[in-house]
Amino acid sequence: MYARRRHVYFTLMGLCVGLFVLAWGVVRLWSVPAAVGMCVAAMVIPPVAAIVANRRGPEDRWWDDPSGDPKSDEWWDELDGKRRR
């Protein structure tokens, strides 16, 4: 799961850099408004890439990992309404 998110992140960031370079290296020769539009699109991509990279998947466990202390884990599971097997 982590590897897929990382690949999507780097793909989006590569697309962002590619749009920027293409806009001012090639497209501006024909149309400056199109180049500006490409840069605006490239400006939106980094926040989306960060959200995708930091999204919690259904099988990811971040904050609810067992702490290693059985008494504490039992107490938190009771508060969360989970049953220990």
Over residues 18-58, the pLDDT tens digits come to 999 999 999 999 999 999 999 999 999 999 999 988 887 76
Q: What is the pLDDT of residue 58?
A: 66
Number of structural domains (the chain) is 1
Q: How many angstroms separate the CA atoms of 33 and 16, rounded?
A: 18
Residue range 55-74: average pLDDT? 71
In a domain, 7, yes or no: yes
Domain span at 37: 2-58
In a domain, 72, yes or no: no
Q: What is the per-residue DSSP string for 4-71? A: HHHHHHHHHHHHHHHHHHHHHHTGGGT-HHHHHHHHHHHHHHHHHHHHHHHPPPTT--STTS--S-HH
In a domain, 11, yes or no: yes
Residue 85 has pLDDT above 60, yes or no: no
Measured CA distances, 51 to 33, 40, 44 (Å): 28, 18, 12
In a domain, 74, yes or no: no
DSSP state for residue 2 in the 8-state scheme: H
In a domain, 78, yes or no: no
